Structure 1
Amino acid sequence: MKNTIINSKYIVVLSALIAFTSCNEIEDVSREETVEILPELTSGSADFSNYVSLGASFTSGYTDGALFMAGQNNSFPNLLANQFALAGGGNFTQPITNDNFGGLAAGGTRIAEPRLVFGGSTPVPLETVVGPVTVSTDIVLNKPTGPFNNMGVPGAKSFHLLSTDYGNLAGLGSTANPYFIRMASSSNASIIEDAMAQSPTFFTLSEMGGNDVLSFALSGGLGKDQKGNLDLTTYGSNDITDPNIFASVFNGLLTTLTSGGAKGVVTNVPYITDLPHFTTVPHNPIPLDADTAAYLNSANVYGAYNAGIVQAFDYLVANTPFTQELADAEIAKRTITFTAGAGNAVVIMDEDLTDLTAINSALVNIRQATADDLLVLSASSFIGTEAIPGNPQTVNGVARPLTDQWVLTPEEQLAIKDATDAYNLTIKTISDANDNVALVDLNAILNELASTGIMFDNYNLSASLVTGGAVSLDGIHLTARGYALMANKFLEAIDATFNSNFVASGNITKAGDYPTNYSPTLQ
């Protein structure tokens, strides 16, 4: 095979960042300006004197693939607390990290990487731009002292808020979360216990259920192989949480949080497959010359495989109840063909295809991707690389099919959607039945960002990676401006449910006060 078969430089994932400029000319005219008199702020029936936020990465202020000082200061709970302070709210403490590099260390050993930055055309690791950095936030050597009003823990699933092992250093790498190890009041404390120990008068419980499907999605659906054997203890488990377990956990959390009369806001779960982490990499990024395409179609590579597929289905039709109609459909789905030029689809593994290995062990479950498949963002730097360096016949995504971790098939996407719908039904049913709880529809907000965009002051925010302004460089978490928009959505829900008037009185966040991109030199 020619060395020109493919190179990662041909994978066009992101468009160039457009520089936005504006100018305002002063008009040489006289005019009268009307000054709007806004009403005085009132808290309504809510008591903001002791606000505690619970949740996962969104709550913590995680952005650009990391947790760091600037991101935490622009977390939506901190932005809310700034407004609550004007209506009787008290101090709001966060477990602030030690630097703006991001990442974590444990006893001097790095266990989480620094943040991403914009590299001119795509997101890149910070250290590729500024050189090596020392991650100074160490969960062993410099734990901060609580209690903390912001109890957002990156990576937490719903049931993790109840776990008494989640902050135990001895469980690092298995049952414990390094972010909660850093902030837990003791080795056997749970997130909900540390929150309730502060006797909150107001709370937010955000994105519960998000990580319950997100870890499955980020792994390309790897957790599906363990379906039916849900692991409720391991920090890094990729399984989708059973909706019945989620319902029990969510009901328990909300009952506990409101038990002392506290009011609060909860959110539902967005369809995470609308996030740019899953929508940016095209299914067909492969350019080929005529000779390479012909070689791939020959009996040396996929020609023999295609012929074997036809023979295997002929056998099934002749000897089993398998119909010719089903056989023709699956043959068409599984036939792998390349053409000269751009736009060739990658080859992927798909365990939902009919297993033919009992007929012919060489007929593994592979096919070319379609527009219905979603490739994870990290696939952009993997497609086109060589499994064996220097051997162009081992190009990943072409001669070597992409394994399950790189792609979400329609069946895996449906599993995510079904679980999300079940979680959201639980959240709405329980929150609607509780007068002390307001609901923010994150699902609708993300859908709007992904489809038409949302006007936030003079900015049109969308879910496009890099250029959209709402979603950060990791393709999942929000930018500072995105979190400011989120804070305003919370304030709208609080006004509507508890008769406060943050929006009407003008006490809301302003888009222009928050960046969409942090500089690589921010330290």
Structure 2
Amino acid sequence: MKIRYIALWAVFFGFVACNDEEDFETTEEVEAKPELVTGSADFSTYVSLGNSLTAGFTDNALFVAGQENSIPNLLSTKFALVGGGAFSQPLMNDNIGGLLVGGTQLEGFNPRLVFNGSGPAALADVIGEVAPTTDIILNNPTGPFNNLGVPGAKSFHLLAPGYGNAANLAAMLANPYYVRMTGTTPDARVLELAMAQSPSFFSLWIGNNDVLGHALSGADGTNPMTEQATFDLAINTLVTTLTSAGAKGVIGNIPFVTDIPHFTTVPHNPINPAENGFAAQVPTLNTVYGALNQVYTALGETNRIVVFSDSTNNAVVIKDEALIDISAQITGAFNANPGFPVFVTQLGLPEAAAPLVASLLGTAYGQSRAATENDLLVLPSSNIIGKVNEASFAAFSAANLPPEVAGQFSVEGVTLPLADKWVLTPEEQEEINNVTINFNSTIASAAAAAGLAEVNANQLLQNLANGGVTDGDYILTSKLVTGGAFSLDGVHLTARGYALMANEFMKAIDATYETNFEASGSFFDIGKYPTNYSPTLQ
């Protein structure tokens, strides 16, 4: 948000108010900035290690423009002013994003997202079919690379042999992005490639994925957080090795995932009764849930009650694995209720179907409740809420329910509780944040023991989420699309956000090594960096 125009108007009115010629005179002089100095740091050979946030990943992809605006590449331009050498990156082949393996699109490594006027959209949906050209088998760049940020890497991956060997891709033991970096030494560890360059200065920002992967999966257990002992060993090994020849450096800590828009954009109550004819369905829905609510009340589980409104936005229904599973009690209560067969006939089914329906309802709603404002829905949930779940539809159809009934009981977040992967409950959020606090303690201890500069990225992202951060003429917040700091995937930063973070890295370096990036006016003007890239950028 530009605020300098306000200052310009103030200057204009100040001139209008002047009456005497001497009013235009000024004795104020612009204070000269001191010359940039290196302090006790040596930037001659700078190497950066980390993950996607180090690589310049943005808008759910890695591409040339994003890499050019990566934190390490930005920092290298400032280091070059005081003796820093060349800085090489494993640049992608285009600004499309996405990866190929021998000419075949690699699943899950897609072209970048773009803004379609209302929200994030696939690049192909805006400009038509696109073809990535970066092939990890056919056209990898030649190193060595100063930017060793590997999208998707966890702390211990930087120590893992074979992590860049294409032969390990099938077993999911290698990372396609790192395959592009290893060249003739496919089994080389990330740390090995860093040390082979004899760095005089390094940056290390790793650990985000050690908790983020778990959070992105809704804490459903498919991508568990790194064990504390493993994380401690990785961080201490990295810091000890990187500083073993006297190199100095800067290390960043881990933000709370609950501060990023991937988890704060989709509201807990996104169902608008005025859309898609939902208001007309409310009486039927309340009839179905009314039967369930009676069971919840009888069991003393009133926190699970669901009631839909035809006039205000409605919360989605979710599965909460922290709740006691009362599937058997629900089924038993329905089977024992003489009025339940009549209820079943109201659904267009014969009375004989009552036991089957009781069993299906018990299974579906044994751990369900309405979402509250304390629940966080992951960003991709916006694409499935209100839609029919095909797997559920198939299961109900296999139980001989008519297609229309099978569909009615398979609507995501309405009649079918959202699965664990779509929601972070308060208990899951607390667990993730506690682990983050412990990991950050490890990072702080390692930094202090080695005399490294430390960037409190956690605090910066908290500030973005709570009122925003002012930098020059701009205010950045954590809001998706409009906040300016976060890219369209809701996880990674924009170029402007990376420039802001680069300034934070320089602040930490100033404080530890007596450099003067800030005092010398060497910080980045974040307004010169975009908040989104044009769909036509190829």
Please tell me the TM-score bracket, short chain as reference.
Answer: 0.7 to 0.9
Name the structure 2 match of 1:108.
Answer: 103
Match of 1:120, SS state, is: coil
Q: How does 1:146-165 map to 2 (within 5 A)?
A: 146-165=143-162
**Aligned partner letter, 1:406:** W
Name the CA distance, whole Å, in 2 between partners of 1:332 and 1:81.
58
**Aligned partner letter, 1:200:** P
1:349-375 C-alpha deviation (Å, 9 max, x unpaired):
111101223444515211111111000
Name the structure 1 match of 2:309.
Answer: 339
Pairing 1:276–2:261 present: yes
> TM-score, normalised to structure 2's length?
0.84
Name the structure 1 match of 2:350.
Answer: none
Q: How does 1:365-380 map to 2 (within 5 A)?
A: 365-380=367-382
Counterpart of 1:62 (choices 57, 62, 75) is: 57
List runs of 5+ in structure 2 lacking aligned partners: 17-23, 332-358, 394-402
Name the CA distance, whole Å, in 2 between partners of 1:184 and 1:415.
36
Q: Which entry has the higher C-alpha Rg, 1 or 2?
A: 2
Is the CA contact 2:320–2:420 (under 8 Å) kept in the aligned structure 1? Answer: yes
Counterpart of 2:430 (choices 396, 414, 422) is: 414
Name the structure 2 match of 1:382.
Answer: 384
Pairing 1:306–2:293 present: yes
Name the structure 1 match of 2:366.
Answer: 364
Q: Give aligned pairs, total.
A: 472
CA 1:203–1:19 in structure 2 vs 1: closer, same or farther (change >3 Å)? Answer: closer
1:192-223 C-alpha deviation (Å, 9 max, x unpaired):
111111111100001x2210110111111112
Name the CA distance, whole Å, in 2 between partners of 1:337 and 1:135.
47
Q: How does 1:49-448 map to 2 (within 5 A)?
A: 49-111=44-106, 112-173=109-170, 174-185=172-183, 186-206=185-205, 208-223=206-221, 238-288=223-273, 290-298=279-287, 301-311=288-298, 313=299, 328=300, 331-359=301-329, 360=331, 362=362, 363-388=365-390, 393=408, 394-435=410-451, 437-448=452-463
Match of 2:203, SS state, is: strand
Is the CA contact 1:46–1:498 (under 8 Å) kept in the aligned structure 2? Answer: yes
Name the structure 1 match of 2:355.
Answer: none
Name the CA distance, whole Å, in 1 between partners of 2:509 and 2:72.
13
CA 1:44–1:19 in structure 2 vs 1: closer, same or farther (change >3 Å)? Answer: closer
Name the structure 1 match of 2:495.
Answer: 480
Name the CA distance, whole Å, in 2 between partners of 1:353 and 1:77.
45
Is the CA contact 2:220–2:420 (under 8 Å) kept in the aligned structure 1? Answer: yes
Is the CA contact 2:239–2:450 (under 8 Å) kept in the aligned structure 1? Answer: no
Name the CA distance, whole Å, in 1 between partners of 2:382 and 2:491.
16
Q: How does 1:442-521 map to 2 (within 5 A)?
A: 442-521=457-536
Is the CA contact 1:117–1:473 (under 8 Å) kept in the aligned structure 2? Answer: yes
Give 1:20 deviation, angstroms.
10
Is the CA contact 2:199–2:247 (under 8 Å) kept in the aligned structure 1? Answer: yes
Give 1:401 deviation, angstroms.
1.3
1:310-338 C-alpha deviation (Å, 9 max, x unpaired):
45x3xxxxxxxxxxxxxx3xx12211221
1:55-74 C-alpha deviation (Å, 9 max, x unpaired):
00110000111000000000
For the aligned residue pairs, the C-alpha RMSD in angstroms reads: 2.1
1:401-459 C-alpha deviation (Å, 9 max, x unpaired):
11111111111111101110110111112211222x11010011001011021111100
1:62-91 C-alpha deviation (Å, 9 max, x unpaired):
011100000000001001000000011000
Name the CA distance, whole Å, in 2 between partners of 1:36 and 1:97.
43
Give 1:129 deviation, angstroms.
0.6
Give 1:108 deviation, angstroms.
1.0
Match of 1:260, SS state, is: coil
**Aligned partner letter, 1:351:** E
After TM superposition, the structure 1 stretch with the greater mean CA deviation from structure 2, 237-246 or 134-143, is 237-246
**Aligned partner letter, 2:86:** N
Match of 1:467, SS state, is: coil
Is the CA contact 2:4–2:473 (under 8 Å) kept in the aligned structure 1? Answer: no
Name the CA distance, whole Å, in 1 between partners of 2:145 and 2:25.
51
Match of 2:313, SS state, is: strand
Name the CA distance, whole Å, in 1 between partners of 2:190 and 2:383.
36
Match of 1:519, SS state, is: coil
**Aligned partner letter, 1:433:** A
Is the CA contact 2:3–2:474 (under 8 Å) kept in the aligned structure 1? Answer: no
**Aligned partner letter, 1:135:** P
Give 1:481 deviation, angstroms.
0.7
Is the CA contact 1:242–1:419 (under 8 Å) kept in the aligned structure 2? Answer: no
CA 1:104–1:164 in structure 2 vs 1: closer, same or farther (change >3 Å)? Answer: same
Give 1:511 deviation, angstroms.
1.4
Bigger fraction of residues in helix = 2
Name the structure 1 match of 2:41.
Answer: 46
List runs of 5+ in structure 1 lacking aligned partners: 1-17, 224-236, 314-327
> TM-score, normalised to structure 1's length?
0.86
Name the CA distance, whole Å, in 2 between partners of 1:56 and 1:88.
26
1:452-476 C-alpha deviation (Å, 9 max, x unpaired):
2111110011111111111111111
Name the structure 2 match of 1:318.
Answer: none
